[in-house]
Amino acid sequence: MRGCKTNALSKEAPVSLVPSFLALLQPLSCVMTCPTFDSFLTVLTGWAFARRRTVTGMILAADAVGEGFKHHSAYHRLFAAARWSLDELGLAVFGRILPLLDGVALLAVDDTLARKRGLKVFGVGMHHDPLLSCRRTAITNWGHCWVVLGVLLKPPFCGERWFCLPILLRLYVPKKVAEKKGLAYRTKPELAVEMLRLLCGRHESRHFHAVGDSAYGGKSVLLNLPGNCDLTSRLKMDARLYDAPVNRPSRKGGRPRKRGERLPTPEAMLAGRCRHLALDIYGRKDKSRVAECVARCYADPGRPLKAVAVEPLTGGRKPQAFFSTCPDDTAEAVLTRYAARWSMEVTNHDAKGQLGFEEPQGWTRRAVQRTAPVAMLLYSLVVLWFSGQGHRHYEAPRRPWYPGKTQASFADMLATLRGRSVRAEVLSMGLHGRGSRNVVNALLHAVKLAA
């Protein structure tokens, strides 16, 4: 592609991100043409600084409006009409994550709701709202439902905290809306399998392990996993588990058995003798009773699974069951891996609160499918930049009421990126004199407060 020769410096916006962050973006230019990539850099710059993440709000934040700049419709066409692939962009971001991965690449898959208004917006419908719902009452809301595939890792210089870096996204269109628009209907698990096959197919020599909640642990995912991908998910407490079949010669003939003897359900496993286990997960010490076994589920009797039943002794949570398609896994490995999935929920929260994942107002099909996912990819890029360069410039905020804070949150990472970018911009003006340092410090303090 022509974009491969593009320098990661936007020729359009007078406001620019710090050079070390622009260098991180350079490999992404291969999925776009040069003019498109220049517009993309301008939008990303505005995305990092804007208070509201609409297209016009972002180009205003980038100060790319007026004489000598592109017409504002060019930035709308970036998402609605330009020829570039969101999947290729996400795979290019994964290429920046690869150097941080060692061994098996851990993935997380989940769906999240982006609330919207308007009847003409493509793909909107009523979806379950987990924030407003409770155990007794399920509440739905109008908006988009996105299925997100991200990479789970502990970035350097970020402590022992897990991060989920989104790379691929799919918009789930409700069945009635798909029939009305003449589109092929695909369930959320089918969209997740599509993204897993895309990623695993591009990196056939690498082994992946996906983690998902019970919505992505059924037979529609389990029976269609790529050959180089395993799965860890939730298991029902009354799940039917079976032993390996024993092929015995029969006088009557007939096909051999597919399933062996029936094994105890996870609930029955906890009723028997269990071992006690203490794990440091979810930010606290958890003590639990654990029972485990190697079994096979009814839907896929040919694949051995490690089934783990857990009864928490602290925290007041109900008994739960999990499984892994790696039968050699220990109970500790299964539980720790599934607990790392919670970082996906944190990513969804930060992408909505800090990067305006719900705020883009495009309504056509291509604009909807490509605008909001850029917020998720920007989240991944900010974390990558902070782990590589930004941590050297991070200054913990002075909060005497919060002495236990030792690690940088995503809000701190974004504030550091903004501060370094403004500092580089101000210092390039060539300020001199006794008051120049005070001007720089005042501007940096204002940027951190705005972040």
Question: What pLDDT does 443 receive?
Answer: 66
> Which residue, among 316, 324, 260, has the nearest Cα to 292 in the 3D structure?
324
Q: Which of the four pLDDT bands, split at 50, 70 and 90, describes residue 5?
A: very low
What's the Cα-to-Cα distance from 240 to each of 268, 299, 358, 433, rounded to whole Å? 11, 10, 40, 77
> Which residue, among 207, 212, 214, 205, has the nearest Cα to 231 in the 3D structure?
212
Share of the chain above pLDDT 70, in %: 90
Average pLDDT, the chain: 89
Mean pLDDT within 383-406: 86
Residue with the larger pLDDT of the pair 315 and 26: 26
What's the Cα-to-Cα distance from 36 to each of 7, 52, 79, 309, 353, rounded to whole Å? 13, 22, 10, 51, 27
Burial class (CB in 10 A: 0-12, 13-18, 19+), 130: middle
Question: What pLDDT does 3 receive?
Answer: 42
Residue with the larger pLDDT of the pair 190 and 284: 190
Tens digit of pLDDT for each residue in 198-236? 999 999 999 999 999 999 999 999 999 999 999 999 999
Q: Which of the four pLDDT bands, split at 50, 70 and 90, describes residue 421?
A: confident
Question: What pLDDT does 430 receive?
Answer: 65
Mean pLDDT within 280-309: 91
Q: Which amino acid is at 372?
A: A
pLDDT at residue 304 above 80?
yes
CA dist., res. 99 & res. 27, Å (int):
14
Question: What pLDDT does 6 receive?
Answer: 46
Q: CB pairs under 8 A, 24+ apart, for 4-9?
A: 4/29, 4/30, 5/34, 6/34, 6/37, 6/38, 8/41, 9/41
Tens digit of pLDDT for each residue in 231-265? 999 999 999 999 998 877 666 667 788 888 999 99
Residue with the larger pLDDT of the pair 230 and 393: 230
Mean pLDDT within 69-81: 93
Question: What pLDDT does 212 receive?
Answer: 96
